[in-house]
Amino acid sequence: MTNLTNTQVIVVGAGNWGKNLVRNFHNLGALAGVAEAHPALRQAIATTYPDVPTYDDFAAALATDVSALVLATPAPSHYELAMAALSAGKDVFVEKPMTLRTEEAKKLATYAQEQGRILMVGHLLLYQPAIAWMGEYLASGQAGQVLHVATRRLKLGKVRREENVWWSFAPHDVSVVLELLGNPQLKTVKAFGNAILQPGIEDYVQVHLDFHNGQSAQISCSWYAPLVERSTVVIAQKQMLVYDEVSQTVTIHHKHIDQDLQHHDQGQEIVSVAASEPLKIECQHFLDCLQTRQKPRSDGWNGVAVVEILEEAQKSFHD
């Protein structure tokens, strides 16, 4: 467990998601301040957490002697703010997507590495206990070689004007796909996007990924769907795994098709995975990394790999 008295952060941005980071870091005893430009949001923080200093802009937070910043600002600002923080000698946690361009993501990851700074990206699902368990289980080889991962993230959700559903929803699933496949090298991306509500802003997307080692993945996202679906399906040589994020269950299907195209089915089992709030685990992991200087599970290079796929798929929508 981290000695939190020596590990403090300032959260920059206290909006819809930032307020959750504020709550968790405060509960962990590590919140040294909150920077928020919007007066009403800043006042809400001051009222809820009267013991926490507030700042009216990023520059004020940057000027403090607190050594780590947590960025929960709009995605277009991530590169500039993260680079400024790293350049000032601070460690950085930046929400997903890390940047909007692969080139910028690589610059951040490279600079953090050269300067010995901690750079962590908010790929929350990597800290979901069920996903962590699946990653360890697949790595053990019990399911055989992992061949394909398919994810679905659909609901009637908040529609944004500044980004499409791919950039809003898919960073979670792209990070999971890479984790469960063992972080393979991307080969090709094929993507389809449908803009139903606003021209040029996709509400429904399907993306197929091929990797150089022969593995593949399929990602489906929509914020204009009648039912909530959040699932991850893993197809391996010996078994199939299904994670239902809504019901928080992992099911192992002891079934496969052999080289002679014959079916084998030995039933299924539901795995009991301890429930825990992934955001709390993620925040604690960042604090641990600040203390020990270990590489975060979702480090800058993990962020680069995710942004690369996001950007390549975006190009395909308009080809």
Given CA atoms 18, 230, 171, 221 in this order, what sign does their dihedral have? negative
State pTM to two decimals: 0.94
252 and 189, same structural domain?
yes
Do residues 241 and 139 lie in contact, with contact meaning Cβ atoms separated by under 8 Å?
Answer: no
Tokens of 273: 């995975």
Backbone angles phi, psi at 229, to 5 degrees: -130, 125
Contact 14, 42 (CB under 8 A): yes
Q: Are residues 234 and 147 in the same domain?
A: yes
β-bridge pairing 204-211 and 186-194: antiparallel
Number of alpha helices (DSSP H) and beta strands (DSSP E) in the chain: 9, 14
Strands of 40-145 (E only): list them: 54-55, 68-71, 91-95, 119-122
pLDDT for res 6: 56
CATH of the domain at 238: 3.30.360.10
**What is the edge-to-edge ordering of all strands in the sheet holding 68-71?**
54-55, 31-35, 9-12, 68-71, 91-95, 119-122
> Which pLDDT score is estimated for 275?
78
Round to whole Å and give the CA distance between 171 and 96.
7
Amino acid (1-letter code) at residue 4:
L
Q: Which of 129, 137, 217, 108 has its CA nearest to residue 173?
A: 217
Query: Is residue 313 domain-shared with residue 192, that is, in the same domain?
Result: yes
Q: What is the pLDDT of residues 186-220, one digit of tens each?
A: 999 999 999 999 999 999 999 999 999 999 999 99
Using CA atoms of 51, 55, 61, 63 in order, give the dihedral in degrees to the nearest 10: -100
**Tell me, what's the pLDDT at 5?**
40
Residues 23 and 116 in one domain: yes
149 and 134 in a common domain: yes
In terms of domains, do 54 and 189 share one?
no
How do residues 265-294 score in pLDDT, each as one tens digit? 999 999 988 778 999 999 999 999 999 999
Label the pairing between strands 216-222 and 204-211: antiparallel
- Compute how many other C-beta atoms are within 10 angstroms of the C-beta atom of residue 20: 18
Q: Which residues of the chain have pLDDT under 50?
A: 1-5
Q: Would you call 238 helix, strand, or coil by DSSP? A: coil
Tell me the residue range of the domain where 69 lies. Answer: 4-123+279-298
Omega before residue 50 within 30° of 0, cis: no
8 Å CB contact between 13 and 37:
no
Please indicate, yes or no, if residue 304 is contained in any of the structural domains.
Answer: no
Judgement on whether residues 136 and 269 belong to the same structural domain of the protein: yes
Same domain, 136 and 236: yes
CATH number, domain of 87, equals 3.40.50.720
* Pair 68, 152 in one domain: no
In terms of domains, do 189 and 178 share one? yes
